[in-house]
Amino acid sequence: MNHPRWRLCLILLCTTQFVALLDFSITMIPLPQIQESLGFTPGALQWVINAYGVAIAGFLLLGGRAADMFGRRRVFLLGLVIFTLGSLLGGFSQTPAMLIATRAMQGFGAALFSPAAFSLLLALFPDQASRNRALGAWTAVAASGFVAGLILGGMITDLMGWRWVLWINVPVGMLVIALAGNLPVGQRDAAMGARRLDIGGAILVAAGAATLVFAFANSEHVGLSSPVTYGLIALAMGLLALFVWVESKVEYPLMPLPIFCRRLTGGANLVSLLANTALGPTFVVVALYMQEILGFTATQTGLGLLPMAVAFTLSSAWAGPALIARVDTKPVILGGMTLFIAGLALLGMSLAVDTSWALSILPGTVLAGVGYGIAFPAWTVAGIEGVAEVDHGLAGGMLTTTQEVGSAVGLAVGVAVSIAVLAGGGSSVQGFSYAILVSACMVVLGLIGAALILPGKASTLALAR
């Protein structure tokens, strides 16, 4: 890891992962300005965020498999070009439909370059000691990317206007494209080159993810207990079940079920899914609370989330990898998730009208940030451990898919819970509190799943030596 070229490659790969996650959240704070500028309806506004999340979640498996089949650097560059072009066009949007379409374009590009970058990183650092350090940097950058989006979104909006939250990606993307020749090509399985991509499977998983998110987003209009909501959830589950069935029948599946059915890989992805259902609503709720209740500006709101970003970054970069090197991944995941739940519960119970940021926001967000940051690298290591090198792109795509699906579904559920509380006569603060507490309950399910599914002893200790 001390070779100058390796350090440059690590910086480039981590930069793209940072941008991929940053772009999920960077449009959250300027949503009021976007609504006013383009004439969004309240129900359609959240698709500025979810169009990106659903696109990246729906096509990450396709991107991971394409990277394994056609070459990691080639797919990485293709995705980055699509993402950068989508960012450029999105900044020029004149209608809601154009902005939503370009956000989906960004998500599709990120779905190609993100798993390719992950597998390139693994190819660049083949020995376990350097790989663990590289994964620590990767997860630290990823953990801070979401929060940095909120911080930069507020500052850029106040200083330059909301369109620059999209245009800011253009010079970054062009710089990485210009320097991408330093990246390794990455292993390409010759036998896989003759295979066909499972396009049908990609469409089914994308449609299932989009329908599931839409079910909760649409509940703003029809209610969480509406037959329409239940029908859409049933349709989403049916599409995802059909995807699993198709994967068991096609010759070259998008997601080989034996990989996903491994206890370590499947358990890590379940934890990623449920832990991230808390991330989306927590950030949105806290941002809205600070602006609507505490009277913060967009920039002040972003800075108010900075302590959580620091907690994320430090615990992901140092605490998490250090603990993984000393104990098995399972206790690190369980311990981090427990702290994450405690932070969410404290945050949900601390929100009030007559209080300050230091009392209502700071303690819970820092504790939650530390807990999530500790667990994040542990389930990332568990998710790719024991997977063949030619399937690293797929494994990375699976992890990021569950992360993005969890965030998108969690955001839709959080909005639905808040609206349901308001419809029942509760206050905005009560709606915010209930949304965070429901998120904490989802993470509890993830903790239980990790305890039951993850094997008691993985090979992490042996590999780390």
- pLDDT tens digits for 329-343? 999 999 999 999 999
18: tokens are: 């940072």
- The predicted pLDDT at position 60 comes to 78
Give, as one character, the DSSP assignment of residue 226. -
Q: Does pLDDT of 459 surpass 50?
A: no
Q: Could you tell me how many residues make up the chain?
A: 465
Cα 461 to Cα 327: distance, rounded to the nearest angstrom? 7
Cα 433 to Cα 345: distance, rounded to the nearest angstrom? 9
This prediction has a pTM of 0.79
- The predicted pLDDT at position 339 comes to 97
Kindly state the average pLDDT of the residues 51-61: 81
In angstroms, the Cα distances linking 205 to 65, 243, 247 are 14, 6, 11
> Is-contact 114 75, C-beta < 8 A?
no
> Is-contact 66 75, C-beta < 8 A?
yes
pLDDT interval class at 284 (50, 70, 90): confident
Kindly state the average pLDDT of the residues 202-216: 84
From 28, 51, 46, select the one nearest 108 (Cα to Cα): 51
Q: Does pLDDT of 306 surpass 60?
A: yes
Q: Does pLDDT of 412 surpass 60?
A: yes
* Residue 8 or 128, more confident: 8
pLDDT interval class at 195 (50, 70, 90): low
Give me the phi and psi of 372, to 5 degrees please.
-65, -40
Kindly state the average pLDDT of the residues 425-429: 87
Strongest mean pLDDT among 29-43, 169-183, 343-357: 343-357
Listing DSSP states for 46-88 in one string gives THHHHHHHHHHHHHHHHHHHHHHHH-HHHHHHHHHHHHHHHHH
Encode burial over 206-240: b for 16+ CB neighbours within 10 A, e otherwise.
bbbbbbbbbbbbbbbeeebeeeebeebbebbeebb
* Residue 154 or 98, more confident: 98
Cα 310 to Cα 302: distance, rounded to the nearest angstrom? 13
Write the pLDDT tens digit of every residue in 98-118: 999 999 999 999 989 888 888
Picking from 78-82, 95-99, 124-128, 431-435, which range would have the lowest pLDDT averaged per residue? 124-128
Kindly state the percentage of the chain with pLDDT values over 90: 31
256: tokens are: 């080989």
> Is-contact 64 394, C-beta < 8 A?
yes
